[in-house]
Amino acid sequence: MPSITDLPCEIMGEILRKLDHLRDLSSTILACRHFYNSFVEFPGLEASVLRRQITPALVPYAIAAMDARRLPRDSEVDPVLNLLDQLYDQPATLADRLMTLRTPLLRELSDYHDTIRAVVTAFASFALERLLAQSASTSVALLPTEYFCFCSSFYSLELFNIMLWQRNIVRNKDRPWENEQLACAYEQLAFDYVGRRAKLLEG
């Protein structure tokens, strides 16, 4: 019977490219030498898997947030504005950089997006509970557009905190509903913080 290890590297590369999470790629290529050889044969597989994990529409937000975390706290305003202009006006420029990032930065993006995803899941469940006036018995399955809106709001909140609040720059390119989403994201994190602080004090 044919084995998966008999598949050409080209086909294995396409299979690896369809994985949904960067950690799945790491564990897969360590499981078999043929998988590893196929991975080495096609540079850019890590970035392709990460793009699927984060989703293409959110990649510019993820890279902008990563760049913002690396800006010196006392940096000039111009780099901040340039980064915002890229995110709003040239998101494809940010997205294209994904293929140039080394493994440590790709893993950083993956881990941080996992954090964003966890916060978004908690936010969606909390919102549903508020609507139903009772505890949600199952996890919330978001539509792709809802998932993008929620995730982009929390990424934007991070950008607001790192880049704008510390430097008193006013955002003027957001639509009214985007500002409302940003406020909701802030309220969720504040609610989360108060709840965790109360539990620590009780303990």
Confidence (pLDDT) at 172: 61
Lowest-pLDDT range, 20-29, 32-41, 87-96, 133-142? 133-142
**What's the rounded mean pLDDT across residues 79-101?**
90
pLDDT at residue 44 is higher than 60: yes
Confidence (pLDDT) at 193: 56
Q: Which amino acid is at 12?
A: M
Q: How confident is the model at residue 21 (pLDDT cuts 50, 70, 90)?
A: very high
CB atoms inside a 10 Å sphere around CB 185: 23
Confidence (pLDDT) at 80: 74
Percent of the chain with pLDDT over 70: 75
As a whole number of angstroms, the distance between CA 38 and CA 165 comes to 46
The pTM of this model reads 0.83
* 3-state SS assignment for residue 31: coil
As a whole number of angstroms, the distance between CA 185 and CA 158 comes to 10
Q: How confident is the model at residue 110 (pLDDT cuts 50, 70, 90)?
A: very high
**What's the rounded mean pLDDT across residues 122-138?**
72
Q: How confident is the model at residue 137 (pLDDT cuts 50, 70, 90)?
A: low
Confidence (pLDDT) at 83: 84
To which residue do tokens 């916060």 refer? 119
As a whole number of angstroms, the distance between CA 72 and CA 119 comes to 26
To the nearest 10°, report the CA torsion of 83, 85, 89, 94: -10
As a whole number of angstroms, the distance between CA 81 and CA 169 comes to 9
